[in-house]
Structure 1
């Protein structure tokens, strides 16, 4: 999920481009060394961690950052992407999804994209294509395992490293679908590598990525897209209605590519089957990735990209902390004070005056002043937080209050002690009176006003202790919720158009149920788990969305709205394949104002 491919300027792209006037010099403490490229989502820069590890930082375009729905989905995808830790993916190591301009950082991969390699050096040999596809399949296995559908798998999102391919940019297309910019001149996704259901606006599943994998394999083996080139509309029409042109695909790859490019998603192979097909095409031998798995000209490009510009030695302090715990600029020692700086608090004396600070333990001896030339004392063995004067300008004693010149300071200790004793006596006396008074009332004894009150007759307190009665459920049967529509539980539960906004449950065209309101969430109950008001109140496996491909007839989803309502959604059916619209048939039970209070 990063994007490290450079812009192509003919057949010899400039890999490390100098920063231009409109490029930032730092991103949250990362000093930028060069620009790697730019695309529809933003620009990609080269930087380094404090330990010298190169990283690629993608800065999202300001137009996308201004869209609140994009930010929400982008934050979800970054959180999911940080769980993806595969051998053939570039891990996300840092990000900021809430700043003025969102960004994310991944490990830098010193290798060309598949698209750049094919344009510059032609199609890959069969053995390299098999290793390429097998590595991509492993990458999809961990991506899909994190609940992510790539949606934009294409040659420019596959980097060729010395030890195998790296799949990048997973999840960004999903976030981009949330913004209206995708319909106003900004294109996310490449038509030539879309699946038929994606081109037709239908449900996107992991099988969508398998279709794209077949297209990438055909491109790597022939140097041309399987459905040709031309206008977006023409390519998309051929993807949906025509068969691919596989005349240049080697025989050993024909079965693999043909099965991946099946129009019906259910007919495509799984990730494990793709790896099995690669194994079969490799003469039933174990796939082994040698150091020289790529042609020599492509390997030479890797060498060039490995010679990245040297990092700047002294990175500046960040203007704001990154959104995750890791920070490349956390100092190990305090910075040098600016000229003219002077501390406003005087240093503590060797022996604090009487009455200030904690009591001195018997036998305690304050530290003696150390000569400036003497070495610093070593910390005690086994003490993980020993005092280090070069790290924190603290003092072994609490800083005392300044002593007034008239000597009145030392007498404040006894005065404070007397005042504290008086306050304590008042509190104890009041507490004792309250206890005895309550005991007297509970036994029917008269109070100070001569009234006798029995605790059983204290109707005000008993009413406060009574639990609030559960609201009655409202049932709505057989609701057909169409993709792109939503439900609002606080009023008439009827599908209304719109999938993004202050609603309470929507069926997103991306193929998932979404909790829209601020503070709202969903819980997917286990198969066989009986949904009820008590179950929905008790279960805390919260999520913001539930993909429809994880649902089956009878599965139930608890809905908690930000407006205080609870709902139980029971799936009763799905729209048939020949239906002109995509919808879910649901039974919905609503308990209004029943959500547990935080």
Structure 2
């Protein structure tokens, strides 16, 4: 991208990156991760912001969408000195995004990797600022869940904690167990690593891990494969070898029992007690090398903001601008010189467009009349036989090309076609007349031959010389979809490939959605028990001895509207008939685990599309 600097903090936009999101022009890449990609942009007033777009596979998950809306709303309530506030967002578009205030400073991870561990006074100010940020975040009812060095930015006036609470949206989605990693193993708490409920105390554990990293350059549980680090977090004590004495209280943050960890307010007090001087963010709290890095980032961001924006090329005019109340000047017929240039008309709503660098049609040599001009600019032609606007008879205008004269058409084929049509029409009329005559003859003889005709017909049938049977429509080919997760109050449509959960509009019940071929509702069954159902009210729960197949589903007519989850076990099968004519075999696989904060059912679906006539019932 023009104007983007090739340094560590700003990278040019790549070929697959959008040029803008909503009303924000994207200036450069800031980074990417498991949740999405972060870009540098600017508000209309020129203030830099960090705009994060969410990964497509997360955007397509309805449960993530619901959680993302909740977490963005909660993040808006977080307004602290050591957090990056939410500036703008879109949770409903094709690709959700979130914009927060841009922090002109490196992350703690990159600063330690490039310049080494921080001195003790810087670590104490870092811890105090992060603890104050956690106090504000927890006070808004949010748990960070993914506090790590890359989510702590170092600004000239203190640290900034970013991405608070948004990880919960991804952690709650069904995609978490299928390749999308949320939370960094080396900085997870024991309860988070064990799949237990996450509380504000989990963030305190991560704070202790971040503090050990900032002071020593390595975490308290070492490096290596993720499963090995997680095992040590859950079962072993932290390794704080080499940690300065003033930071010994960090061990309390790393207690296995969440109840034994200090609160963020206590951590601030411990930092103040460990500092020989009062804690003050004076603007020089970081080593000189990191401060110089921050200054460079501020200058680079200002340079990008001042870089001119390349305006999109204006489309070529498709027709001359005409003004009925203005008499056009008389055309001149002087031959164009080599220096002649075409200047487009100046529009009334903007600055004059720059002349195109290539040759204009007025500078090209005259082409023969019948040579096709595929590269000529598009525009309306005058009716055949008329002169273009401003053209005088007998005078060749520069750039004008006459229309080629169409070749004469052979009309013999038309008359042959008319003759064939007439003959076919006469033959059809004759056939109709013969058919009507045969009907008259059969009606005249009906009284004398009805009984003999019946016996004759019966005899021919029993004798094996009956007419051919009606052709049968072959059964449709089944399509199977495995592991479809349907969140509570969502439904799927069997016509979709694959079926994707759809949320009932305005938070209403999916029970009344005509498109709900299969829904999951926690108050839809008898006695308010969770149930699977269908708007078409044709659901059949098969017995264990029955084999799920199209033939079985067609033969079973014990229809009901819903089947409660209490009637189902893993492997239970249901036949579902839809008003549109689809038949599906639904195999129940279970509900969300107890440790999963989301509520969904998992099913396998085999669909025979258009397997029966659509229902006419309303």
Q: What interval of TM-score do these two structures reach, taking the shorter chain for normalisation?
A: 0.5 to 0.7
Match of 2:173 among 172, 179, 183: 179
- CA offset at residue 182 of structure 1? 2.4
Residues 1:14 and 2:8 aligned together? yes
Secondary structure at the counterpart of residue 37 of structure 1: strand
Deviation string 1:97-148 (CA, Å, 9 cap, x unpaired) is 1111111111110000000000001100010000000000111111111111
> Unaligned 5+ residue runs, structure 2?
1-5, 326-348, 350-483, 491-502, 509-520, 529-592, 598-618
Residues 1:245 and 2:239 aligned together? yes
- CA offset at residue 564 of structure 1? 12
Tell me the residue number matched to 1:295.
Answer: 287
Tell me the residue number matched to 1:277.
Answer: 270
> Which whole-Å CA distance do the structure 2 matches of 1:153 and 1:189 have between them?
8
> Which whole-Å CA distance do the structure 2 matches of 1:27 and 1:231 have between them?
37
> Which whole-Å CA distance do the structure 2 matches of 1:238 and 1:157 have between them?
23
> Which whole-Å CA distance do the structure 2 matches of 1:582 and 1:36 have between them?
34
Residues 1:162 and 2:156 aligned together? yes
> Which whole-Å CA distance do the structure 1 matches of 2:113 and 2:12 have between them?
24
1:60-139 equivalence runs, <5 A: 60-139=54-133
1:381-400 equivalence runs, <5 A: none
More relative contact order, 1 or 2 (CA 8 Å, 6+ apart): 1
Secondary structure at the counterpart of residue 152 of structure 1: coil
State whether residues 30 and 315 of structure 1, in contact with CA within 8 Å, keep that contact through their aligned partners in structure 2.
no
- CA offset at residue 500 of structure 1? 6.6
Deviation string 1:502-558 (CA, Å, 9 cap, x unpaired) is 259xxxxxxxxxxx987669xxxxxxxxxxxxxxxxxxxxxxxxxxxxxxxxxxxxx
Secondary structure at the counterpart of residue 33 of structure 1: strand
> Which whole-Å CA distance do the structure 1 matches of 2:504 and 2:526 have between them?
11
State whether residues 240 and 263 of structure 1, in contact with CA within 8 Å, keep that contact through their aligned partners in structure 2.
yes
Match of 1:266 among 245, 259, 266: 259
Distance 1:237 1:13, change over 3 A: farther
Q: Answer with 1 or 2: which has the greater Rg.
A: 2
Tell me the residue number matched to 2:487.
Answer: 501
- CA offset at residue 310 of structure 1? 2.2
Tell me the residue number matched to 1:150.
Answer: 144
1:402-413 equivalence runs, <5 A: none
- CA offset at residue 40 of structure 1? 1.1
Tell me the residue number matched to 1:9.
Answer: none
Deviating 4+ runs (over 4 angstroms): 312-317, 338-344, 516-521, 560-567, 580-584
Secondary structure at the counterpart of residue 304 of structure 2: coil
- CA offset at residue 563 of structure 1? 6.4
- CA offset at residue 58 of structure 1? 0.6
Residues 1:45 and 2:39 aligned together? yes
Secondary structure at the counterpart of residue 310 of structure 1: helix
State whether residues 110 and 305 of structure 1, in contact with CA within 8 Å, keep that contact through their aligned partners in structure 2.
yes
Match of 2:184 among 190, 199, 217: 190
- CA offset at residue 286 of structure 1? 2.6
- CA offset at residue 41 of structure 1? 1.1
State whether residues 174 and 485 of structure 2, in contact with CA within 8 Å, keep that contact through their aligned partners in structure 1.
no
Match of 2:230 among 220, 225, 236: 236
Distance 1:566 1:187, change over 3 A: same
- CA offset at residue 181 of structure 1? 2.8
1:485-524 equivalence runs, <5 A: 501-502=487-488
1:322-471 equivalence runs, <5 A: none
> Unaligned 5+ residue runs, structure 1?
1-11, 318-337, 347-389, 391-497, 505-515, 522-559, 568-579, 585-598
- CA offset at residue 304 of structure 1? 1.6
> Which whole-Å CA distance do the structure 2 matches of 1:519 and 1:565 have between them?
24
Distance 1:65 1:582, change over 3 A: closer
Count of residue correspondences: 348
Tell me the residue number matched to 1:59.
Answer: 53
Tell me the residue number matched to 1:329.
Answer: none
Secondary structure at the counterpart of residue 32 of structure 1: strand
1:525-536 equivalence runs, <5 A: none
Distance 1:343 1:31, change over 3 A: farther
State whether residues 19 and 34 of structure 1, in contact with CA within 8 Å, keep that contact through their aligned partners in structure 2.
yes
State whether residues 88 and 136 of structure 1, in contact with CA within 8 Å, keep that contact through their aligned partners in structure 2.
yes
- CA offset at residue 189 of structure 1? 1.2
TM-score, reference length from structure 2:
0.51
> Which whole-Å CA distance do the structure 1 matches of 2:595 and 2:181 have between them?
25
- CA offset at residue 274 of structure 1? 0.8
> Which whole-Å CA distance do the structure 2 matches of 1:61 and 1:91 have between them?
21
Distance 1:197 1:286, change over 3 A: same
- CA offset at residue 179 of structure 1? 2.5
- CA offset at residue 339 of structure 1? 9.4
TM-score, reference length from structure 1:
0.53
Secondary structure at the counterpart of residue 248 of structure 2: helix
- CA offset at residue 183 of structure 1? 2.2
> Which whole-Å CA distance do the structure 2 matches of 1:276 and 1:180 have between them?
40
State whether residues 51 and 100 of structure 2, in contact with CA within 8 Å, keep that contact through their aligned partners in structure 1.
yes
